[in-house]
Amino acid sequence: MIKCSFVCFLGIAMYGQVYLADKKADGDPGLDNMRGLYSVAVSPDQRSVYVAGSLDNGLTVFSQNSFSGALTFVESWVDGMGGVTSLAAVRGVAISPDGLFVYTAALTDSAVTVFSRNPNTGQLTFVQAIFDLDTGGSFDGLGGAMDLTISPDGLHLYAAARSDDAVVAFSRNTMMGTLALISVYSNNSGPGFGMDAPERLQLSPDGQHLYVIAEQSQSIVSFSRDEMSGELGFLGTYYDGQGGVDGLGCASDLAISPDGLNVYAVGQYGAGGSSCATGFDDWLGIFARDLDTGSLTFLATVDPASLNFPIGCGGVASGNGVTLSADGKRLYATIGWLGGFVAMDRNPASGLLSLNAIECTDFVNPAPLDLISAHRMAHDGSGKRFYVSALSPGTVLVYENDPYHQFRTGVGTWPNPNLLVLIDYLLQIEP
């Protein structure tokens, strides 16, 4: 097993930089529905950002300036508002590939909500709510809805249901955005899926395979996907500590590289809690993926101790998040126990990682406490920016990478920098 050798440095490490472009927090003027900010989603046109405030049962909408990255509040949807009763403890947010619909998963309501999206303003209109049987719906399996993913062709949506240990498959009307049940895949219906408390799920870029990260079983569960019917076929389960697999302790999130060659999983790093008592574990696991079969091969783990975080960095033990840039050259991941995140360069040939930048709440060298409960990550699809959610008080932070920051600040002194947005787009600056 490889452990830390590809991210450990001799002598003094020379790190890259990331730059905070904007942040919005619960309690800011006009913002009061973002506590427990769980996840972030960015529209394909990068004009809108949607955040789920789980403790406030709220979905908040921001518009984003393409050039500066600045966020502007647009609206909030709160459970019970406008007849919508399906947002209690909203956790997951997903946006259709065409950017015309937004979907949410709500833990307490055990529900998936469908909104249509105005592509000009980002504003939402309620379309549909689907509930678990226990909360007034017509089928069982959506209990504790946590996360959503939509197939690249837009034809199907899949939801992870934590309480029911299940994945629910829906067909999707691409014109109306509405959903219809296909099937429920749970531990009770399969040959021992090993899918206890699924947290996150993601489809491969080709739409052929679905991967589910399950916290309590400390595993990745893999399925094949029928592109026509949307049905899933169980392929296998990869457990932490079995068959040489590592890095899945209290697994909480996963990301697949755009080329489909690697899967990256993160779990809890820090003292064990009542729901996950394994304590300190390897934080990030790296897997190779077979493009044809979807099977995974464990490659390595990354130990946060090898990343040389400043000694004063500190946060809380919780589930972490991971995402990759649109070109697959950079991985971003949070380490809640250290109150921060890292940016890591990805070797596309090997899938292995090398440290690029660190950002954290440092109590020795005073810094804002924005990252003390860093949680999920997202990227904007353009390679310019990535996003961090912080649970308390409920904050979304927008960061830009070093190449784009240098470009933006350089042209920002020109007479009319807004005219350079088109140039910025054409240059396709890489992270």
Give strand pairing partners of 94. 103
Q: Note the pLDDT of residue 79.
A: 98
pLDDT band at 38 (very low <50, low <70, confident <90, very high): very high
Classify residue 227 by burial, with Cβ atoms within 10 Å: 0-12, 13-18, 19+.
middle
Predicted confidence band at 187 (pLDDT cuts at 50, 70, 90)? confident
Question: Which of 78-87, 156-165, 302-311 comes out lowest in average pLDDT?
Answer: 302-311
Cβ contacts of 217 within 8 Å, gap of 6 or more = 194, 195, 196, 197, 237, 239
Residue 331 in this model has a pLDDT that exceeds 90? yes
Radius of gyration of the chain (CA): 20
pLDDT of residue 362: 84
Judged against a pLDDT cut of 80, whether residue 15 lies above it is answered with no
Given a cut of 80, whether residue 153 has pLDDT beyond it is yes
pLDDT mean over 295-317 = 90
Residue 5 reports pLDDT greater than 50: no
Between the alpha carbon of residue 144 and those of residues 112, 155, 177, 197, 212, the distances in Å are: 10, 24, 22, 9, 15
Q: Do residues 382 and 46 make contact, with C-beta atoms less than 8 angstroms apart?
A: yes
Q: Is the confidence at residue 12, as pLDDT, over 60?
A: no
Q: With the CA atoms of 331, 337, 339 and 343 taken in that order, what torsion angle do they form, in degrees rounded to the nearest 10?
A: -10
Supply the DSSP string of 218-276, one letter for each residue: TEEEEEEE-TTT--EEEEEEEETTSTT--S-TTEEEEEE-TTSSEEEEEE--SS--SS-
With vertex at residue 322, the alpha carbon angle to CA 119 and CA 37, rounded to the nearest 5 degrees, is 60
> What is the pLDDT at residue 91?
97
pLDDT at 200 over 80: yes
CA distance 382 to 385: 7
Q: Mean pLDDT across the chain, nearest whole number?
A: 89
- pLDDT tens-digit readout, 357-375: 999 988 887 777 899 999 9
pLDDT band at 99 (very low <50, low <70, confident <90, very high): very high
Angle at alpha carbon of residue 190, lines to 186 and 194, rounded to 5°: 70
Range in 142-156, 211-225, 260-274 with the lowest mean pLDDT = 260-274
- Whole-angstrom Cα distance, residue 377 to residue 344? 13
> Is 60 exposed, middle or buried (CB count within 10 Å of its CB: 0-12, 13-18, 19+)?
buried
Decide which of 369 and 15 is more confident. Answer: 369
Residue 386 reports pLDDT greater than 90: yes
| pLDDT score, position 314 | 87
Which amino acid would we find at residue 118?
N
Contact between residue 73 and residue 87 where contact means Cβ atoms under 8 Å apart: no
State yes or no: pLDDT of 8 exceeds 60.
no
pLDDT at position 103 over 90: yes
Which pLDDT score, from 0 to 100, does residue 6 have? 40
- Structure confidence at residue 383 (pLDDT): 87
> Ranked by mean pLDDT, which of 14-23, 167-176, 246-255, 397-406 comes out on top?
167-176
Opening angle at CA 163, ends 160 and 167, nearest 5 = 25
pLDDT band at 191 (very low <50, low <70, confident <90, very high): low
Q: What is the DSSP string of 364-388?
A: SS---STTTTEEEEEE-SSSSEEEE
pLDDT exceeds 50 at position 130: yes
Rounded alpha-carbon distances, angstroms, from residue 352 to 6, 15, 123, 347, 376: 7, 17, 40, 6, 21
Is the confidence at residue 418, as pLDDT, over 80?
A: no
- The encoded tokens of residue 259 equal 């080329």
pLDDT digit string, tens, across residues 217-270: 999 999 999 999 999 999 999 999 899 999 898 899 999 999 999 999 999 887
* pLDDT score, position 73: 98
